Amino acid sequence: MSIRNLDDLLGEGVSGRRVLVRADLNVPLDKQTGEITDDGRIRAVLPTLSALVQAGAKVVVCSHLGRPKGAPDPQFSLRPVAGRLGELLGAPVHFAEDTVGDSARSTVEGLADGQVALLENLRFNKGETSKDDAERGAFADQLAAFGEAYVDDAFGAVHRKHASVYDVPARLPHVAGRLVLREVEVLSKLTGDPERPYVVVLGGSKVSDKLAVIEALLPTVDRLLIGGGMCFTFLKAQGHEVGTSLLEEEMVETCRNLLERSGGKIMLPVDVVAADAFAPDATHDTVPADGIPSHRLGLDIGPETVAGFAAALSQAKTIFWNGPMGVFEMAAFANGTRGVAEAITKTDAFSVVGGGDSAAAVRALGLDESSFGHISTGGGASLEYLEGKTLPGIAALES
């Protein structure tokens, strides 16, 4: 991979220069209080921002948050992020009330060496996500005017052909930040020649969301452990009753074919936690995976499955995990995800947590993040990288 990195830029000198940093500050906010519930993505970009601050750059940070409809929406404002970022950096972060308007221009112009500004949500502007090259390019022109150099440290967005990710690098000298460089280095190990046995754990809701990565991984992995809501379509493909569990009927035949082609690599649950309703206080118990009552739905993998998955993981030298094993947000259905995560930490394998809900689960369940080899900040980006897709943000940095 031929990408210039942050050290290359720092070596050229950035003191007094405006550096535009694309970060992924898309953190979860409490709907009632507006407070940040997980600041993992903010902390992930700190090494890049701190290095630029210490070198005397005027740092202009831009990011998206949520999915506003191309116009300002208070519930998706980055203002709370500016406050938390300032706390973590140990210095105030100047917040622009808009992205490329008067407030942004005056905020950027007022920066002193070593100071940081955060622009308002990129997606408050239609040009950020536009599929029209001209509209996207016009917005990129406005953004690029705020920088003399560009740093992409938003791995969670590199699979998007958005203005701030794909078009701005064509307008400025550009480098990869510390986080993006680390993410690509780690994931390239998984797509190159991983140390074996190589075991992948996939969870989450839908087979359709993971089909491409399953197809890409099957020839290269030694074992593929499947849990979460997606396992019920596989169980149905084996001819089992799945009750009212999450099911993609249109994917049953696809799952049947995958099982036949896998050569026994795919490992499915042998027991599940079945409940009367999708609710934290629902009546539930553990049942065999081939004996789910018709009126119940599976919300977690069971203890025998956790033990079986743990045994498979114990032999691994390389592990990739993406997707929870159950509805971990509800305490009654978090044991499967916790059990698998803890099993990963007890191995000697090089382990990668593939971002998204998996990374959120690690923090929500109070697990030691340092027990994993790497926790990615990009769920969708990490999966697309493993699928072998060209990621627009990476391609833009290589050009």
pLDDT > 80? residue 297: yes
Mean pLDDT in residue range 45-68? 98
Strand pairing category for 18-23 and 223-226: unpaired
Query: In this structure, is residue 97 part of a structural domain?
Result: yes
pLDDT > 70? residue 212: yes
Residue 2: predicted pLDDT: 79
Last residue of a domain, one of 151, 181, 211: 181
Helix 79-89, helix 46-54: angle, nearest 10 = 60
Given pLDDT bands bounded at 50, 70 and 90, which one contains residue 100? very high
Last residue of a domain, one of 148, 181, 214: 181
Same domain, 208 and 175: no
pTM of the model: 0.90
**298 labeled binding residue:** yes
Query: In this structure, is residue 1 part of a structural domain?
Result: no
Best CA proximity match to 116, nearest among 205, 244, 20: 20
Alpha-carbon distance values, 8 to 58, 113, 133, 366, 398 (Å): 17, 19, 30, 37, 14
* Proportion of the chain above pLDDT 90, given as a percent: 89
Same domain, 177 and 196: no
Same domain, 127 and 244: no
Q: How many CB atoms lie within 10 A of CB 281?
A: 10
Residue 355: predicted pLDDT: 75
Residue 379: predicted pLDDT: 84
pLDDT > 80? residue 244: yes
**126 labeled binding residue:** no
In the residue annotation, 356 being an active-site residue is answered as yes
In this structure, what CATH number is given to the domain that contains residue 231?
3.40.50.1260
**329 labeled binding residue:** yes
**179 labeled binding residue:** no
Write down the catalytic residue from 17, 18, 41, 296: 41
Residue 1: predicted pLDDT: 54
Last residue of a domain, one of 156, 181, 206: 181
* Proportion of the chain above pLDDT 70, given as a percent: 100
Average model confidence (pLDDT) for the chain?
95
In the residue annotation, 40 being an active-site residue is answered as no
Strand pairing category for 116-118 and 374-375: unpaired
Question: What is the rounded CA–CA span in Å between residue 153 and residue 174?
Answer: 11
Measure the CA angle with vertex 379, ends 261 and 313; round to 5°: 55
Question: What is the SS3 assignment for 362?
Answer: helix
In the residue annotation, 192 being an active-site residue is answered as no
Q: In this predicted model, what pLDDT tens digit does every residue of 132-163 receive, in sequence order?
A: 999 999 999 999 999 999 999 999 999 999 99
Given pLDDT bands bounded at 50, 70 and 90, which one contains residue 373? very high
Same domain, 118 and 214: no
Same domain, 164 and 290: no
Count of structural domains within the chain: 2
Domain containing residue 290 = 192-387
The amino acid at residue 244 is T
Question: What is the rounded CA–CA span in Å between residue 373 and residue 351?
Answer: 5
Query: In this structure, is residue 63 part of a structural domain?
Result: yes
